[in-house]
Amino acid sequence: MPRKKEVVSGNFVKYDAVVLGSGPAGEGAAMKLAKSGKRVAIVDMREQLGGNCTHVGTIPSKALRQTVSSIIRYQRDPMFQKVGEWKQFTMKQVLRNAHKVIQLQVDTHSRFYDRNKIDIYHGRAYVQDKNTVMVFSADGITETLVFQQLVIATGSRPYRPDILDFNHPRVFDSDKILDLDFSIKKIIIYGAGVIGCEYASIFIGLDHKVDLINTQHKLLSYLDDEISDALSYHLREQGVLIRHNEQIDFLETFDDHVVMHTQSGKKIKADAILWCNGRSGNTDGLGLENVGLKPNSRGQLTVNEQYQTEVENIYAAGDVIGWPSLASAAYDQGRNAGGNMSGEEGLKPVTSIPTGIYTIPEISSIGKTEQQLTEEKIPYEVGQASFRHLARAQITGDTVGELKILFHRDTLEILGVHCFGNNAAEIIHIGQAVMNSPNNTIKYFVETTFNYPTMAEAYRVATLNGMNRLF
Ligand SMILES: Cc1cc2nc3c(=O)[nH]c(=O)nc-3n(C[C@H](O)[C@H](O)[C@H](O)COP(=O)(O)OP(=O)(O)OC[C@H]3O[C@@H](n4cnc5c(N)ncnc54)[C@H](O)[C@@H]3O)c2cc1C
Ligand SMILES: NC(=O)c1ccc[n+]([C@@H]2O[C@H](COP(=O)([O-])OP(=O)(O)OC[C@H]3O[C@@H](n4cnc5c(N)ncnc54)[C@H](O)[C@@H]3O)[C@@H](O)[C@H]2O)c1
């Protein structure tokens, strides 16, 4: 519903704060600013709110992954196998569910703006000076917004190297793959970061052949070694061909296939290539030179601990500031920026962030890895619980997985929790809550009664396993 705007003179509208981008960072900032009594506007060049997170990033990829998981679950359950026949699903079919979820998310989030009386402008924002933004809408209308404070939360987009022609129908990035409308049997996924690994799980789950090309020596090397090894093992077991330490030399494109040549002299043929190697911050064309802000070579902005840029009244949050480039962190960064802009004191920047990787099996972790603790010479012990021994996992059939707790052998303080297997991203939060409490000790898991049967039982099993190692 359009709201009455305060037109100051001529054609411009005045706000306390303007937020550029309606992804999680922009939303977090806008809501916080509005709740603090400020008159706020949000600008997004998409026709719908929600940012890349809702339209091309987190939400569609997770909805896709959920559908693929359901297909796998259905396939492996002998009871259902008798009822229906296994049939191959195309990407287009599984995308239907994702589109439904996107719309539900857009509706939910649009209501938040409405309820908080935040004005919405759809169009490309251009920063004219440190108090003015122009908004160019798709239908040719230009609005001028005058503000006291600005939040840049314009997010990121897939990095597109010059050597690839992304206009070719068989060359995809993680945005374009959501429009795949023809059948493929084999795909090359180039880049084995989080996006590459998640899409490898999706395509192998849909019974495609997958070549996952990793430019590094192992998958997601920042993870605990055991978890990274488990991911490699399970992806390979499902049929993904992982090639480590490879770099693209060039790509040949044909009407019905592509051939990738690697710098090591290999030739890999597939029906399509999905490029998942890196993202760039959305700062080009934003007019930042008009206020003296210079993004780095990846289009990212530098901020201080208050999420303030070098220009006093301009803040930035989310993917546009780089690490960790997660929706989870982006929302909190935005909220934090909004709090600082409203004069709240004592806010701490967002630093303790769990990892949640929605591969099959799912991966999640918080705190330090075994490699880090060993390097830091911290005397830790390990407690492990394998999912296959848990009643709940046996009931659901999700027996692939493990929970590993790393704790200080003298103080029993939890130093890290690492998990792979179904619902790992939820399970981790139990460990995170205890780690963040003033009484951080693994004893919590043996002194507290949990529901049974649950996956939370893994914490008790892992703790007892670890305590038995102490002497
Ligand atoms: C495939 C994929 C899967 C992911 N999965 C996860 C996950 O499971 N968990 C997780 O935590 N994170 C995940 N992420 C990362 C997550 O999506 C991002 O961290 C998050 O979207 C960043 O939010 P943001 O608010 O910074 O910006 P974005 O969500 O990128 O939104 C920015 C908005 O700004 C708009 N904009 C840009 N320039 C302008 C301009 N000049 N004028 C007006 N509007 C503009 C854009 O159109 C966009 O709508 C995933 C990302 C991808 C690509
Ligand atoms: N489940 C999740 O949490 C989840 C899922 C998907 C994506 N994400 C987020 O999305 C981001 C992107 O993931 P990804 O897998 O594409 O890549 P990545 O960030 O892991 O990077 C892959 C490679 O590309 C390089 N690179 C990155 N940006 C570049 C640029 N602009 N130019 C040149 N090289 C560049 C990196 O150095 C790296 O070698 C990650 O930061 C991740 O946190 C998170």
pLDDT digits (tens, 9 = 90+) for 413-430: 999 999 999 999 999 999
Q: Tell me the CA–centroid distance for residue 245 and ligand 1, in Å.
A: 29
* ipTM for this prediction: 0.91
Q: How confident is the model at residue 9 (pLDDT cuts 50, 70, 90)?
A: very low
Question: What are the pocket residues of ligand 1 if the criterion is a CB atom closer than 6 Å to any ligand atom?
Answer: 20-26, 43-46, 51-53, 57-58, 61-62, 124-125, 153-156, 174, 195, 282, 286, 318-320, 325-328, 330, 356, 358
**Which-ligand-closest: CA of 337?**
1
Q: What is the pLDDT of residues 268-292, one digit of tens each?
A: 999 999 999 999 999 999 999 999 9
Name the band, by pLDDT with cuts 50, 70 and 90, for residue 223.
Answer: very high
Residue 6 has pLDDT above 80, yes or no: no
| CB 13 within 8 Å of CB 2 | no
Indicate the helix (H) or strand (E) that contains 251. Answer: strand 248-253
- What's the whole-model pTM score? 0.93
Cβ 280 under 6 angstroms from ligand 2: yes
298-332, pLDDT tens digit by residue? Answer: 999 999 999 999 999 999 999 999 999 999 999 99
pLDDT of res. 454:
97
Instruction: Find the mean pLDDT for residues 143-156.
Output: 97
pLDDT the model gives residue 4: 39
Ligand 2 centroid, distance to 457 Cα (angstroms): 34
Q: 3-state DSSP call for residue 93?
A: helix
Q: How far away, in angstroms, is 221 Cα from ligand 2 center?
A: 13
- Give residue 282 CA to ligand 1 midpoint distance, Å: 10
Amino acid at 352: S
pLDDT value at residue 84: 58
Length of the chain: 471
Which uninterrupted H or E stretch holds 275?
A: strand 272-275
In this predicted model, which residue has the larger pLDDT, 401 or 11? Answer: 401
Q: Among all chains, which residue has been given the structure tokens 């509005």?
A: 34
Nearest residue to 189 (alpha-carbon basis) of 155, 162, 158: 158
Separation of alpha carbons 30 and 218, rounded Å = 40
Query: What atom of ligand 2 comes closest to residue 215's alpha carbon?
Result: 39
Q: Is 340 in the pocket of ligand 2 (CB under 6 A)?
A: no
Q: Would you say the CB of residue 194 lies under 6 angstroms from ligand 2?
A: yes
Taking the C-alpha atoms of residue 291 and residue 282, their distance in angstroms, rounded to an integer, is 16
Q: Residues 328-347: what's their mean pLDDT?
A: 97
Strands (E), 378-447: 380-386, 401-408, 414-421
User: Contact, 248 vs 171, CB < 8 A?
Assistant: no
CA distance 11 to 331: 32
Q: What does the block give as tokens for 67?
A: 């559908």
Dihedrals φ, ψ of 342, to 5°?
-90, 5
User: So what's the pLDDT on residue 86?
Assistant: 55
Tokens representing residue 214 in the block: 């990793």
* 61 alpha carbon, closest ligand: 1
With cut-offs at 50, 70 and 90, classify the pLDDT of residue 7. very low
Q: What is the DSSP string of 111-143?
A: HHHHHTT-EEEESEEEEEETTEEEEE-TTS-EE
The predicted-structure confidence for 45-99, as pLDDT tens digits, reads as follows 999 999 999 999 999 999 999 999 988 887 777 776 665 555 667 777 888 888 9
